[in-house]
Structure 1
Amino acid sequence: MAVALPKNFSEVRQHLEQPLIRNSFFIMASSFVAAGFGFFFWMIAARFYSQADVGVATALMSSMGLLILISRLGLDQSVIRFFPSRDKNRVLGTAVLVPTAIALGAGVFFIAAVDVLAPELAVVRTIAPLYLAILGAYSIVWVFEGALNALRKSEYYFALNLLYGTRILFLVPLVSLGAMGIFGAFGLSFILGLILALILLARCSVRPTPCVDRPFLREAWQFSAGAYIAGILMSAPNMVIPIMVLHVLGAESTANYYITYAIVSILFMIPYAFTTSLFVEGSHGGEMKRSVLRTLASMFALLIPAIIILSLFGEPILGLIGKDYVEGMALLRVLAVSALFVSVCQTFISIAKVRNDIRSLVVLSGFVSIALLGLGYALMNRFGLIGMGYAWFATYAAGTLLVGLILKKKGWL
């Protein structure tokens, strides 16, 4: 079927002002802004802080991200799902109160048990109040970001990501604090983001009510339980790997891994954007097979030249951050090629969500999580940091084969 194209500027403007198009643009722009600020943040941190400081700070930030991931219970997604039909203030208040309480409880446990869980991060005991304050702000802002998108105000989400860039301004003044200076700069941006998010929500006439809406929780859990488990399984390795690298190879290797992954993650934004659009299209009843083929073709058309460019110019990019980080070039190339297989697995996740096939979603997510962490630990002990790159490639290549088997068994091919 032919697609009618806008014939004049007025029609183009109307097309761009459609909520789906406008919000997609701002979400994608937010991802690139976050990546850009992240690159400059770590480039400046590498210039003013030692590699050991960078390694400890990244592990602290990863530990916090893992606590947030575990505690959110899928309620950030349920906010988007239930905002149109329920009391927004009560939904948002519940979605903030419950996960944040769990996150803070988990944070207290982590601090108390750090000698067993991650002895390399025992320093967290000396900054326990700061760690918990940043953890709380991070947890609340995470939910608020979803609420702004649910309100079709993704331009406000974009504004928040611009504000997070202020963390760069705090790096130099806090340099005397070492690793805690990097961590403090990271946390201050979320505290400022929390203030801005409350102001932006108020402009939308949304003021979260501190409460526990039990009917909402029951309905939300039925909706999000399977996707929540799958989300944890897919995301947990990104939080655990820096801590694992710190334990196996030390702080310098952790810094190398984190910086290299931060650069390669720009490639991962491509499948994220396209598979999110695929999920939206499928949820609106679009023809899935044609949409999947278009999604894959579009992703590969962008990914392949991007991988080639990053492989050719990755060394000077790493050199901009610091000469010590050029050692991560081999890891960068392997992670970059892995993006092709990551895109296939992400595409399947969107298909499974549209089909409401939570079992297949959990099977693939569980396989990726276990294989990536298990192979990563084993191959790092044998090959060093590049072993983690081999684990990424092997895990997602095998995941792509698993996707093919599931699709064939389900008759979706």
Structure 2
Amino acid sequence: MLKNSLARNSALIMLSTVGTSGLGYLYWMIAARELPRPAIGTATALISAATVVSMVANLGLGHMFIQRLPSTPTPAWSRIVSAGLLIGCAATAFASIAAVLVLPRLAGNFGFLNGLSGAIALVVTAVALTASMLLDYVFVAHRASQGMLWRNLALAAGKVAALAGLTAAGLASASAVVLAWTVPSLLVSTYTLRWSLRRLQPGYRLGGSGLGAELRHVRGSMTGHHLVNLAQAGPSAVLPVLVTARLGAAENAHFYVAWMTASVLFMVSPAVASAFYAERTNAAGRSASLPRAAFVVLVVIGGPALVLFLAGGWILGLFSPAYAAAGGLLLKILVLAAIPDAITNLAVAHWRSLGELRRCVRLNLAMAVSCLTLTWLWLPSFGIEAAGLAWLAGQTLGALLVAAVAAGNRVRTFLLGPDRATGSLRGRIAPRPRRPLFHPAVRGRPALRIRSGTRRPSPHARPRSRSWRVP
């Protein structure tokens, strides 16, 4: 199975996710045992806000990398990567400053951003997240997900070591969590830029030349893939922010630990979807099939989902009994939501590979609006479980819409036939015109064969004889 490129890269991306999640458990376990819950709640609120800012400001550059980097010459490759990183990080920095000015005025629970240290922490954390995400997409674009694996494992191990060192030194505040989260990300991204990308693309050089020429492609990614990404990943990043705004930082700590535990399942289908889209984009892997991608998701997600549903309370108890009591029911709800979440992620990847970006945006917007609206309305009444119920409702709505589209396609195929009903890009390509069998001017005579690189003889240069007259 791993001989197949889709399965291999999906497995590497998921192995990266599992390894990062495992080290993430250790990271938050150290934080839960060494720091008070309000400090953890403040830190997770800042990290969640930085995640939202990074998601909004990365401009869809990651999927632009997938489209343009394969089989690109080294000079153009260097220009694309350099311009993407510079534009993405600059946009993230500006968006972070705007968030520092707006968030404390919208919700009093984000008052910690009014200080200089909180503002700097948000900007640096968001920029580090954007750079790390874009570098991951460079490896995914080349179907070299092993580079992403080692990068993320080094990053997660660095976070654990940094947090253990800071807490051992006596720093028992939200600053310890944020510093341990951000500094290793900056160091690993610097190493990737300096050495790893040169092994991936020999001759690569980071520079600012050609920045203006890339703005046209950035505008194209903003109006296409970026809208799909925002509507798809927006709710998962915004939910902790809403919990903080409605219930406070302490309740967000309980929600974040349960959400992080369930994220092992939520990261599987996006990983397979990214590998599936990269395979469809690459000329050598266009035969990647949707059933194969669904089979990979089913194989990987089944066991962990059963374990989390049955033993989720015990796993949360490793952090502390308070986390198990507050987040046990929420974790079960989130595990159930992993099934429709996988359906919608694979459907979006399939439609994206066919160029159906409007359909992707409509589906993701329907799920996002329903999830976020229900979360905002239900949080005061149901507590943190409201976020899980709203997430389950949004994903279920999306799965039903996917089923409706699939049923409609089957009906159109039955009524119109496969050739007229197909919505793929291949079906829209005009057929190549056939060379005429006979000469267009002289009926019954063979067509005039002109070799490439020669000029067609002028009609006046033809000999005026009876053999050229039309019979």
TM-score by length of 1: 0.88
What is the aligned partner in structure 2 of residue 71 from structure 1? 57
Which of 116, 127, 130 in structure 2 is aligned with 1:126? 116
Distance in 1 (alpha carbons) for counterparts of 2:144 and 2:290: 28
AA aligned opposite 1:51: R
Which of 170, 176, 180 in structure 2 is aligned with 1:181? 176
Report deviation, 1:237. 1.3
Could you tell me whether the CA contact under 8 Å between 2:265 and 2:304 is conserved in 1?
yes
1:193 and 2:169 aligned: no
- For residues 97-176 of structure 1, the aligned pairs below 5 Å read 97-124=86-113, 125-127=115-117, 128-164=119-155, 165-175=157-167, 176=171
Distance in 1 (alpha carbons) for counterparts of 2:306 and 2:128: 39
Matched position secondary structure for 2:151: helix
AA aligned opposite 1:192: L
Distance in 2 (alpha carbons) for counterparts of 1:310 and 1:410: 36
Matched position secondary structure for 1:286: coil
Matched position secondary structure for 1:207: coil
| Pair 300,393 (structure 1): closer, same or farther in 2 beyond 3 Å | same
- For residues 230-379 of structure 1, the aligned pairs below 5 Å read 230-280=228-278, 282-283=280-281, 284-286=285-287, 291-300=289-298, 302-326=300-324, 327-379=326-378
Distance in 2 (alpha carbons) for counterparts of 1:138 and 1:131: 11
What is the aligned partner in structure 2 of residue 11 from structure 1? none
| Pair 173,126 (structure 1): closer, same or farther in 2 beyond 3 Å | farther
> Which stretch shifts more, 355-364 or 214-223?
214-223
Distance in 2 (alpha carbons) for counterparts of 1:137 and 1:274: 24
| Pair 34,151 (structure 1): closer, same or farther in 2 beyond 3 Å | same
Higher-Rg member (1/2): 2
Which of 31, 42, 47 in structure 2 is aligned with 1:56? 42
- Total equivalences in the alignment: 396
Could you tell me whether the CA contact under 8 Å between 1:55 and 1:253 is conserved in 2?
yes
| Pair 149,279 (structure 1): closer, same or farther in 2 beyond 3 Å | closer
Structure with greater helix percent:
1
Deviations, residues 170-197 of structure 1 (Å, cap 9, x unaligned): 2244342511110111011111112211
Deviations, residues 166-225 of structure 1 (Å, cap 9, x unaligned): 111122443425111101110111111122112212344322212453333323543563
Runs of 4+ in structure 1 displaced over 6 angstroms? none
| Pair 209,21 (structure 1): closer, same or farther in 2 beyond 3 Å | farther
> Which stretch shifts more, 269-278 or 38-47?
269-278
Could you tell me whether the CA contact under 8 Å between 2:140 and 2:278 is conserved in 1?
no
Distance in 1 (alpha carbons) for counterparts of 2:208 and 2:59: 18
Deviations, residues 90-118 of structure 1 (Å, cap 9, x unaligned): 11111011111111111122223332134
Distance in 2 (alpha carbons) for counterparts of 1:19 and 1:136: 31
Could you tell me whether the CA contact under 8 Å between 1:93 and 1:212 is conserved in 2?
no
Distance in 2 (alpha carbons) for counterparts of 1:76 and 1:49: 35
Could you tell me whether the CA contact under 8 Å between 1:371 and 1:395 is conserved in 2?
yes
Report deviation, 1:278. 3.9
What is the aligned partner in structure 2 of residue 407 from structure 1? 406
| Pair 212,116 (structure 1): closer, same or farther in 2 beyond 3 Å | farther
| Pair 219,243 (structure 1): closer, same or farther in 2 beyond 3 Å | closer
AA aligned opposite 1:140: A
Distance in 2 (alpha carbons) for counterparts of 1:213 and 1:36: 39
Report deviation, 1:307. 2.5
Which of 214, 217, 221 in structure 2 is aligned with 1:216? 214
Deviations, residues 241-286 of structure 1 (Å, cap 9, x unaligned): 1111012112222111111111111112332344344435555443
Distance in 2 (alpha carbons) for counterparts of 1:135 and 1:400: 31
| Pair 303,143 (structure 1): closer, same or farther in 2 beyond 3 Å | closer
Deviations, residues 330-369 of structure 1 (Å, cap 9, x unaligned): 0000110111111111121122112211111011110111
Distance in 1 (alpha carbons) for counterparts of 2:96 and 2:214: 26
| Pair 130,211 (structure 1): closer, same or farther in 2 beyond 3 Å | farther
TM-score by length of 2: 0.78
Distance in 1 (alpha carbons) for counterparts of 2:364 and 2:230: 8
Which of 11, 15, 27 in structure 2 is aligned with 1:41? 27
Matched position secondary structure for 1:377: helix
Report deviation, 1:373. 0.4
Could you tell me whether the CA contact under 8 Å between 2:59 and 2:221 is conserved in 1?
no
Distance in 2 (alpha carbons) for counterparts of 1:19 and 1:274: 11
Deviations, residues 288-315 of structure 1 (Å, cap 9, x unaligned): xxx4344445534554443222111111
What CA RMSD, in Å, does the superposition of the two structures yield over aligned residues?
Answer: 2.4
Report deviation, 1:132. 2.6
Matched position secondary structure for 1:205: coil
| Pair 272,139 (structure 1): closer, same or farther in 2 beyond 3 Å | closer
Distance in 2 (alpha carbons) for counterparts of 1:366 and 1:285: 28
Matched position secondary structure for 1:321: coil
Percent of paired sites with the same residue: 24
Distance in 1 (alpha carbons) for counterparts of 2:95 and 2:267: 30
